[in-house]
Structure 1
């Protein structure tokens, strides 16, 4: 049975390289405005940044499974977490909240199935994205109710997972509205069984209270580093060893004060321009 949490040692992860997502300068120029990027990513720089990012994951012990390109995928397909979910029963294809990304789940699920990963099914009603799910244990899953994930899809997910998994629904705030990329993991990144980076100003009070009651210590991300620094978007490589976007010195200092080893990467092209940090760029497939 897979190890269902967000902080155990990362053993296997799916990625899509900018060569396969951005493809070319011409594709970037054709799509970046309609996808709400603030400016066009530089293709060559993005590839170099991603090579360095992938190298960090490999040096941490994670085996990489590379996802392919295909017609119909957009620049956003770089952010592979959103299109698939992991579960004790296998991978689950999502129903994307962003219409331009509708083909990603089938492409990713097919590639991972060919690679030998078991599949549990797909969500075919409502909308749900991977950034809105946080596993705390084999039997406890937090799922957002927001603009990218809605109750119809959460109900369908519950049917796939069965009664052994408790789904805790977390209502999200409006924040910047429906066009924004705002997920549950935008405000919460577990780094150990009892430690998480959070942005409390956007956290629902009942959910924050439950985290504290369960003994989770909250490392508060300062407002000036939350947006556009994405300082709350932190990927655990193993408990208290984490990867985050460079340029967030206060958050890094606060994490280190809690005993974390913090590795940073340059992500001007692959993260800041597409609003996707290290958790967005990765689909963890196996932890343990």
Structure 2
């Protein structure tokens, strides 16, 4: 049975992906898009296909959207322009101006797929999917960041009257040009187990996890910059994450978590977006 909301530890059964597009110059990549270096598109496309195969091997139905126009180089991070909520999807509103066109693309795509749209975040609100994390079926944590603002969070509360929308103020860290989402610092890997990057973890988030008896696995410090905290749970105790995070893999395996890694620097690392960023989790199966 499909869960009312896609709690991030439930078995993932259906996901939406969008392939990477666009190649940037060095100056465009760093100054305009906040990338670590230009993406090699051919490599990114091959890595995206490998990621799709890993999902399908985990019995996930993958809906592949058409490629966005080449100027929308962040569009492969499919989790950001929409959010699955009880009854359908909300169309969100990215704070990064170059991504605003993605909202019309995702709205058209989900409409063509026959999926219900429950509402839309409007100016001056901003919410990105990377800042949204379901803690339980009735509680949505939302990072208050440079990408998701107070107006957007208030709109979420209006659109989701039966849900507790828990605002989680985040830190400045490296500033507005670098993406720091809530999901940059926490990933569930099982029903009551989450990996957390403790140096940037808001106390409000830690209290919310404690109240739900969630076991915290502190991310090894050396793995944060290599996206070690961005982990996609495809079933309870079964995850996909970026390669190059040996300490985190060892920690997870010692905790009984089955880990699959993907070498995907041109897909993930260059744009600071890991497996959860690439994936709009449309459906997860209830285990109750």
Q: Secondary structure at the match of 2:85?
A: coil
Q: How big is the shift at 1:117?
A: 1.1
From 20, 34, 37, the equivalent of 1:36 is 34
Per the alignment, residue 274 of structure 2 pairs with: 277
Q: Tell me if the contact between 1:13 and 1:286 (Cα under 8 Å) persists in the aligned partners.
A: yes
1:207 matched residue in structure 2: 205
CA contact (8 A) 1:32 1:75 kept: no
Which of 241, 245, 260 in structure 2 is aligned with 1:244? 241
Q: Deviation at 1:72?
A: 7.1
**Over aligned residues, Cα RMSD in angstroms?**
1.5
Is the 8 Å Cα contact of residues 17 and 50 (structure 1) preserved in structure 2?
yes
Q: TM-score, normalised by structure 1?
A: 0.93
1:104-115 to 2 correspondence within 5 Å?
104-115=102-113
1:82 matched residue in structure 2: 80
1:147 aligned residue? 146
Say whether the 8 Å CA contact 1:72–1:103 is kept in structure 2. no
Aligned length: 280
CA contact (8 A) 1:95 1:123 kept: yes
Q: 1:259 is matched with which residue?
A: 256
User: Using a 3 Å threshold, how does the CA distance of structure 1 residues 142 and 113 change in structure 2: closer, same or farther?
Assistant: same
Where does residue 228 of structure 2 map in the other structure? 231
User: For the residues of structure 2 that align with 1:158 and 1:217, how far apart are their CA atoms?
Assistant: 28
- 95-104 or 71-80, larger mean C-alpha shift: 71-80
Query: Structure 1 runs of 4+ off > 4 angstroms?
Result: none
Tell me the CA shift for residue 177 of structure 1: 0.6
5+ long unaligned stretches in structure 2: none
Q: Which structure 2 residues correspond to residues 3-82 of structure 1 after superposition, within 5 A?
A: 3-18=5-20, 21-22=21-22, 27-29=23-25, 31-33=28-30, 34-71=32-69, 73-82=71-80
State the Cα distance separating 1:138 from its structure 2 match.
2.0
Describe the superposition over 1:168-217 as per-residue Cα deviations: whole angstroms up to 9, x where unpaired: 11110110111111000000111222100110110112321331232100
Q: Which residue of 1 aligns with 2:137?
A: 138
Question: SS of 2:110's equivalent?
Answer: helix
State the alpha-carbon separation in 2 of the partners of residues 139 and 73 from structure 1: 37
Q: 1:119 aligns with which of 92, 109, 117?
A: 117
Q: Corresponding residue for 1:129?
A: 128
Contact 1:181 1:275 in 2 (8 A): yes
Alpha-carbon contact 2:68-2:75 (below 8 Å) kept: no
SS at match of 1:77: coil
Structure 1 regions of 5+ residues with no counterpart? none
What's the counterpart of residue 190 of structure 2?
Answer: 192
How far does residue 4 in structure 1 lie from its aligned partner after superposition?
Answer: 3.3
Is this contact kept in 2: 1:243–1:262, CA < 8 A? Answer: yes
Q: Are the equivalent residues in 2 in contact too, given 1:245–1:265 (CA < 8 A)?
A: yes
* 1:287 and 2:281 are equivalent in the alignment: no
Tell me how far 1:262 sits from its aligned partner: 0.5
In 2, are the aligned partners of 1:144 and 1:171 still within 8 Å (CA)? yes
Tell me the CA shift for residue 140 of structure 1. Answer: 0.9
